[in-house]
Amino acid sequence: MGIVWHGYYITYFEDGREAFGREHGISYLDVNKYGYTTPIVKSTCEHKLSLRYGDVARIETTIVDSPAAKMIFRYKIYDANNEIACTGETVQVFVDETGTLSLNFPPFFEEWKRKVGLLK
* Series of mean pLDDT values for 10-residue runs along the chain (120 residues): 89 97 95 96 96 92 96 97 97 97 96 90
Q: What is the pLDDT of residue 44?
A: 98
First and final C-alpha spacing in the chain? 51
Phi-psi group of 27: left, alpha or beta (phi > 0 → left; psi -120 to 50 → alpha; rest → beta) = beta
Q: What phi, psi does 23 have (nearest 5°)?
A: -70, -35
Q: What is the pLDDT of residue 110?
A: 95
Q: Are 105 and 113 in contact (CB under 8 A)?
A: yes
Q: What is the pLDDT of residue 119?
A: 81
Which DSSP letter does residue 100 get? P
